[in-house]
């Protein structure tokens, strides 16, 4: 008895014995239930898909793979094959087959949620009270382990939302961009969307991320497209924010938007809304109580003549007035918008720009506004120190203010400013300069003499003779023979017209506008009359 009493006693159980037994049973259950699927015999041509897809599935950052096509085109078979050959590589697996048919029955979607949750949580979950409760439970369970889930034959958006919404919740910062595209921009030109969304959502990189994750695609004519179920899922996510459209972050139905604006029902949650401007133009409406509205797109509002009380939308970040050619006045409170990063007034050619611009601007489009440099609008942008992109194409000014204070300016577009004669002391940070069709432009200098442009478009600048750091054209008549060195023979042709040969934009259309000149670039002078 003495020996027996000295034996170390087993530790006390911290929970009931039945709980331990349940855990043992669940573990054995999951080890025995490998959740395999039945594959058809004598499958031909599947191996090549395995070779392409299996290494892709092993990537640590993979979210999901979509196989879509017409009914009966053979989507389920490759899905089963991929699942069967990879199920042992994941901590948990689930194959939900024939979802469309199952959901036709009563509580079918709820039963599928329970099956999925049971599969990926090793039998720890058995019952789900309602579908809305099941979705977050599935999301939480998928965060706990590396899972392979196959959803076969989804035919309605509500099925996708209830079973795969985790794919949206896991895309981080681009989720907001995805929701904006789903609600407003499907079928729109990608460049147009980038122009609007770039400042706030890094749209160029964000759209590429969405493309890589099969959430968005781009058509051959550069339109953004999205699978119908994914678009409906995005809209459904927004609808879940509130039963009232006025309390949602995005309102895409013009009828709902019109009611919000007309009855002043806006809330602090509205970030974007779509409006039918033909309906809106029939009444005098006020944007009020839209504290969280970030984007206001009034493009092609041909009847819009005035913008008033814009400060009532204090957190506005993007204002699009593109092609509002009847607009003649914008209130001075525009300058009070502290968050406005993008202002596009392209085509507002009736506008008299006497209003101040916000200091917060990053991107400014004043294309085809026929601007002149005046005391009321000097074009100096002295307080817009955050400007990165400036487009003043097709303006009427002859000279240009010094912009060496714009240390963040990356892109400057002055194309078709037909009266422009010189550009002096451009900022050294400038990466892109476009001056297409500036036929009277002669000279360009920079803040520092070193040429740093990465993109430079100057086709049609037939009088341009100097770009500091790049080239300078000097008449032969002004050079001594000693300056010409072994090319002193050119002196006797100094008053002849010549043709310039080369593919560079500098040579195009210039043969009838200059006499013999000396280049600092590598051009060939075509002189058929020379000996």
Enumerate long-range contacts of 237-240, CB under 8 Å, 24 or more apart.
Answer: 237/161, 237/165, 237/168, 237/179, 238/179, 238/183
Residue pair 371/379 in contact by the 8 Å Cβ criterion: yes
- Output the CA–CA distances (angstroms, integers) from residue 129 to 111, 151, 237, 373, in the order listed: 10, 21, 21, 68
**Residue 97, Cα to own-chain centre: how many angstroms?**
35
Q: Which two tokens stand for residue 528?
A: 């058929």
Residue pair 80/95 in contact by the 8 Å Cβ criterion: yes
Name 306's bridge partners. 329
Note if the pTM is more than 0.75: no
Residue pair 174/206 in contact by the 8 Å Cβ criterion: yes
Would you state the pLDDT for residue 62? Answer: 61
Would you state the pLDDT for residue 68? Answer: 67
pLDDT tens track, the chain, 531 positions: 444 444 445 555 566 777 777 677 666 655 655 566 666 666 666 666 667 777 777 765 666 677 766 666 667 877 788 888 777 777 788 888 888 888 888 788 888 888 888 888 876 666 788 887 887 888 788 777 778 888 888 777 777 777 666 666 667 778 889 999 999 999 989 988 888 888 778 889 999 988 887 789 899 999 999 888 889 888 988 998 888 888 888 988 888 887 877 777 766 788 887 776 666 555 555 666 677 788 888 888 888 888 888 888 888 888 989 989 889 989 899 999 999 999 999 999 998 888 889 999 999 999 998 888 777 677 788 889 999 999 999 999 888 788 888 889 999 999 999 999 999 889 888 999 999 999 999 999 888 877 778 999 988 888 888 888 888 877 777 777 777 777 777 777 777 666 555 556 666 665 443 344 444 433 333 333 333
Whole-angstrom distance, CA of residue 91 vs CA of residue 16: 27
Whole-angstrom distance, CA of residue 89 vs CA of residue 94: 13
Would you state the pLDDT for residue 386? Answer: 92
Would you state the pLDDT for residue 277? Answer: 65
| Residue showing tokens 């360009």 | 444
CA atoms within 13 A on the CB side of 316: 25
**CATH 1.10.10 domain range(s) in the chain:** 174-234
Residue pair 393/367 in contact by the 8 Å Cβ criterion: yes
Class of domain 174-234: mainly alpha
Enumerate long-range contacts of 274-283, CB under 8 Å, 24 or more apart.
Answer: 274/183, 274/184, 277/301, 277/302, 277/303, 277/304, 279/254
Whole-angstrom distance, CA of residue 255 vs CA of residue 243: 16
Would you state the pLDDT for residue 531? Answer: 32
Four-residue CA torsion sign, 270, 275, 277, 280: negative
Would you state the pLDDT for residue 254? Answer: 80
């Amino acid at each position: 008895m003495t020996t027996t009493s000295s034996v170390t006693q087993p530790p006390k159980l911290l929970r009931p014995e039945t709980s331990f037994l349940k855990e043992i049973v669940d573990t054995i259950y999951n080890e025995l239930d490998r959740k395999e699927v039945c594959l058809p015999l004598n499958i031909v041509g599947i191996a090549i898909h395995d070779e392409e897809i299996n290494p892709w599935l092993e990537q640590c950052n993979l979210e999901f793979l979509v196989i879509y096509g017409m009914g009966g085109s053979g989507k389920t078979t490759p899905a089963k094959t991929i699942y069967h050959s990879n199920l042992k590589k994941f901590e948990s697996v689930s194959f939900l087959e024939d979802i469309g048919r199952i959901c036709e029955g009563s509580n079918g979607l709820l039963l599928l949620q329970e099956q999925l949750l049971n599969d990926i949580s090793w039998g720890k979950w058995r019952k789900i009270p309602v579908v809305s409760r099941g979705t977050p439970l599935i999301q939480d369970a998928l965060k706990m382990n590396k899972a392979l889930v196959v959803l076969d034959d989804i035919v309605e958006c509500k099925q996708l939302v209830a079973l795969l919404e985790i794919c949206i919740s896991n895309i981080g910062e681009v989720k907001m961009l995805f929701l904006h595209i789903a609600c407003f921009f499907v079928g729109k030109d990608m460049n147009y969307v980038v122009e609007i969304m770039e400042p706030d959502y890094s749209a160029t990189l964000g759209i590429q991320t969405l493309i890589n994750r099969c959430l968005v695609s781009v058509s051959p004519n550069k339109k953004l497209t999205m699978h119908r179920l994914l678009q409906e899922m995005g809209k459904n996510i927004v609808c879940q924010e509130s039963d009232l459209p006025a309390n949602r972050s995005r309102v895409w139905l013009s009828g709902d938007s019109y009611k919000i604006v007309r009855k002043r029902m806006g809330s602090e949650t509205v970030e974007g809304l779509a409006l039918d401007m033909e309906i809106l133009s029939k009444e005098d409406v006020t944007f009020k109580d839209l504290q969280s509205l970030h984007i206001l797109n009034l493009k092609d509002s041909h009847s819009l003549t005035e913008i008033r009380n814009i400060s009532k939308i204090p957190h506005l970040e993007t204002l699009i007035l593109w092609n509002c050619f009847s607009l003649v006045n914008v209130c001075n409170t525009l300058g009070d918008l502290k968050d406005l990063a993008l202002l596009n007034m392209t085509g507002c050619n009736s506008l008299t720009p006497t209003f101040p611009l916000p200091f917060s601007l990053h991107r400014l489009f004043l294309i085809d506004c026929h601007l002149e440099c005046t005391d009321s609008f000097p074009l100096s942008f002295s307080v817009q120190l955050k400007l990165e992109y400036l487009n003043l194409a097709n303006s009427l000014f002859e000279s240009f203010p010094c912009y060496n204070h714009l240390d963040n300016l990356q892109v400057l577009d002055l194309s078709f400013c037909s009266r422009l004669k010189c550009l002096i002391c451009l900022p050294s940070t400038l990466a892109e300069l476009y001056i297409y069709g500036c036929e009277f432009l002669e000279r360009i200098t920079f803040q520092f003499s070193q040429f740093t442009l990465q993109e430079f478009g100057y086709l049609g600048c037939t009088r341009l003779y100097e770009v500091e750091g790049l080239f300078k054209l000097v008449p032969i008549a002004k050079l001594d023979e000693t300056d010409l060195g072994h090319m002193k023979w050119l002196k006797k042709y100094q008053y002849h017209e010549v043709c310039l040969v080369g593919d560079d934009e500098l040579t195009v259309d210039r043969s009838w506008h200059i006499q013999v000149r000396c280049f600092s670039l590598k051009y060939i002078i075509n002189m058929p009359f020379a000996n």
